[in-house]
Chains A and B, each alone.
Chain A
Amino acid sequence: MLTSPSLGRHAQRTLRHQGLLNVAQRRGLAAPASGSFQYQTGDSNGVKFASRDLAGPTTTLGLVSRAGTRYQPFPGLTEGLERFAFRTTDRRSTLRITREIELLGAEQYTEHTRESLIIGAKFLRDDLPYFVELFAEIATQTQYPGYLFHEEIESIIEMSKKKHLADTAAMALNSAHALAFHRGLGAPLTPASNVPVNKYLSSESIHEFSRDAYSKANLAIVANGAEHGELTKWVNEFFSDAALPQGTPLKSEQSKYHGGEERISHASPKNSVVLAFPGSSSYTGGFYKPEVAVLTTLLGGQTSIKWSPGFSLLSKATANFPTANVQTKSAIYSDAGLLYVLITGSSGDVAGAANEAVKAIKGIAEGGQIGQELFAKAKALAKFRELEHGQNIKAGIQLTGAGLTQQGKPYQLDETAKAIDGVTEGQVKKAAKEILDYKASVSAVGDLHVLPFADELGLKV
């Protein structure tokens, strides 16, 4: 006779098992599309702003300007302008701004990408007017005295240069961008030498650039966790005065893919190789290819679950090279994109992994069977990545701000997620074939004796 507890346990187990199966069967790929990424947008005398009211007691506010490295007229200006944010304005000193932010329990951050410059703050919901006012002050009243540049900014830029030169992965990525796009998107994110500081950067040139960067045509304000009415009111109050110039949009030529090879000798034990190919632009950029996102996760290299190398082709193919860290990313810009495989680690392993990576891409391109299940996994992960990235607050601010300043509307996340749903295996194979038709952008940083040349890997450069 069965005892009741064991029966109960058995029954529970069975039930749970069935339940799991049911969930697995029911789970469609198109499940999440809640619309919660949708920002409400507004326009106050030419100043664009967007907000989404996430429930919660804190707000993240960002001032996003088009002034990324792509749009800087001279090298280093974006970096310089970023360092001038939250510094002395006509009304308050650096110290006072810092202490006030501290007293409100808030946090400030600045960052720049290739296409935008972001000044941000996270704070308690009630402090929204204070920060909108502060951002308006930063945009219109920051002082750019020469001594401040020499006393503080110069040394910070020097440090960021040193940090950049010590990081082989960042160097390889910058070099791959330069090879792929030459000017514009190819401009390095961080100055890699003293030339910008010595030749192009001064408080006057940064001040000049700030007038373009902080003008109505080039900036947007994005809030997460703020009520749209509130934001509208305060933006109207603080940004509507005539101090903010109308400006003209910062320009950069349509990106064109070139490709090539660069090898940089570096003493770091962490060697880096970047294999880059033309990728997908943003949804509104005219060169949008959702299959690139799926190809990215299919190649992968990083696992998303514990205790397993993951399903992706590269993590399986490079399992024999334990120190090699492989990741595939699709860098998406407004009018172009770069699909790259970044491999870091000891020189021998990096060389081996690079070989395997090229073999994997060629395998897909030459019509090898991907497999139904593997393809489904890659597609699901691509969609998850896309949606998760948009849900992330900081990334959301950056994407929305960039969308507003560049296309005049926020980033269309739901559409991209839908587009990924429609990708077929054939499209991915075709995309892999197409990227191999172009010249690759191959950059190797580290021990050049061991790191392979592009033609040794079998890539066309």
Chain B
Amino acid sequence: MSKPSLAPFIRARPWLRRWVQPIADWYVNSCGYRQVGLLSDDLIPEESDTVQKALKRLPPKEAYDRVFRLRRAFQLSLQHTILPKEEWTTTAQDRPYLSQLIEDIERENKERQELDAMVPNKK
């Protein structure tokens, strides 16, 4: 699920970050998901075993909040409207609550694959 990303590269260079940040903010705000109260991790396609497993690992409160956000967004989409401005997702709220779990599961799968293809050498 995790895609190649330039973000770590940019974050490591403050001068570059200062330059890119305004563009990034503009881009994220114009995506439109924040206006219906979603978080960026809500947009990850969930039709895969990895994400399904990650969703099962969410703490109960997180899982409940996620469902609430999704249902609210569906409702808004149905009504062709967006939330009042004070309810939009802020940058501080937009945290990656699911990506970490997905990365863990991907790491587990990768390790399993590596170990299954391992060739032990006799010393």
Binding site for B on A (CB under 8 A): 93, 95-96, 99, 103, 145-147, 150-151
Choose the segment among B37-45, B89-97, B108-116 that binds chain A (4+ C-beta atoms closer than 8 Å).
B108-116
The answer on a CB contact under 8 Å between B108 and A147 is: no
Q: How large is the interface on B (under 10, 10 to 19, 20 to 34, 35 or more residues)?
A: under 10
What 6 A-B pairs are tightest by C-beta distance, nearest first? A147-B57, A99-B115, A103-B120, A95-B112, A93-B111, A95-B111
The answer on a CB contact under 8 Å between B56 and A147 is: yes
A42 to chain B, nearest CB (A): 31
Closest A residue by C-beta to B115: A99
Q: Which among B56, B59, B115, B118 has the greatest number of chain A C-beta atoms within 10 A?
A: B115
- The prevalent SS among residues of B at the interface is helix
The answer on a CB contact under 8 Å between B111 and A96 is: yes
Given the complex, which residues of B lie within 8 Å of A150, measured CB to CB? 56
Given the complex, which residues of A lie within 8 Å of B118, measured CB to CB? 99
The answer on a CB contact under 8 Å between B108 and A93 is: yes
Given the complex, which residues of B lie within 8 Å of A96, measured CB to CB? 111, 115
A97 to chain B, nearest CB (A): 11
Interchain CA distance A258-B111 in the complex, whole Å: 54
A127 to chain B, nearest CB (A): 13
Given the complex, which residues of B lie within 8 Å of A151, measured CB to CB? 56-57
Encode contact with A along B71-114: 1 for CB under 8 Å, 0 otherwise: 00000000000000000000000000000000000001001100
Interchain CA distance A99-B59 in the complex, whole Å: 30
Interchain CA distance A16-B57 in the complex, whole Å: 74
19 A-B residue contacts at CB 8 Å? A93-B108, A93-B111, A95-B108, A95-B111, A95-B112, A95-B115, A96-B111, A96-B115, A99-B115, A99-B118, A103-B120, A145-B57, A146-B57, A146-B59, A147-B56, A147-B57, A150-B56, A151-B56, A151-B57
Closest B residue by C-beta to A148: B57
Closest A residue by C-beta to B112: A95
Closest A residue by C-beta to B107: A93
A368 to chain B, nearest CB (A): 66
A95 to chain B, nearest CB (A): 6
Given the complex, which residues of B lie within 8 Å of A103, measured CB to CB? 120
Interchain CA distance A150-B58 in the complex, whole Å: 11
B10 to chain A, nearest CB (A): 30
Interchain CA distance A103-B122 in the complex, whole Å: 10
Q: Known pairs A96-B115, A146-B59, A147-B57. 14 more at Cβ < 8 A?
A: A93-B108, A93-B111, A95-B108, A95-B111, A95-B112, A96-B111, A99-B115, A99-B118, A103-B120, A145-B57, A147-B56, A150-B56, A151-B56, A151-B57
Given the complex, which residues of A lie within 8 Å of B115, measured CB to CB? 95-96, 99
B43 to chain A, nearest CB (A): 23
A91 to chain B, nearest CB (A): 13
Interchain CA distance A6-B71 in the complex, whole Å: 101
Closest B residue by C-beta to A92: B111
Interchain CA distance A96-B111 in the complex, whole Å: 8
Within 8 A of A (CB), among B20-61: 56-57, 59
A226 to chain B, nearest CB (A): 21
Given the complex, which residues of A lie within 8 Å of B57, measured CB to CB? 145-147, 151
Interchain CA distance A147-B115 in the complex, whole Å: 23
Interchain CA distance A193-B85 in the complex, whole Å: 52
B53 to chain A, nearest CB (A): 8
Given the complex, which residues of B lie within 8 Å of A147, measured CB to CB? 56-57
Interchain CA distance A283-B56 in the complex, whole Å: 51
Q: Which among A93, A145, A150 has the greatest number of chain B C-beta atoms within 10 A?
A: A93
Interchain CA distance A146-B120 in the complex, whole Å: 34
Interchain CA distance A93-B59 in the complex, whole Å: 21
Interchain CA distance A96-B120 in the complex, whole Å: 14
Closest B residue by C-beta to A145: B57
Q: Which among A93, A95, A145, A147 has the greatest number of chain B C-beta atoms within 10 A?
A: A147
Interchain CA distance A439-B43 in the complex, whole Å: 68
Given the complex, which residues of B lie within 8 Å of A93, measured CB to CB? 108, 111
Interchain CA distance A145-B120 in the complex, whole Å: 31
Given the complex, which residues of B lie within 8 Å of A99, measured CB to CB? 115, 118
Interchain CA distance A404-B118 in the complex, whole Å: 41
Closest A residue by C-beta to B60: A146
A202 to chain B, nearest CB (A): 12
B49 to chain A, nearest CB (A): 13
B110 to chain A, nearest CB (A): 11
Interchain CA distance A95-B111 in the complex, whole Å: 8
Interchain CA distance A96-B115 in the complex, whole Å: 8
Interchain CA distance A146-B59 in the complex, whole Å: 8
B51 to chain A, nearest CB (A): 14
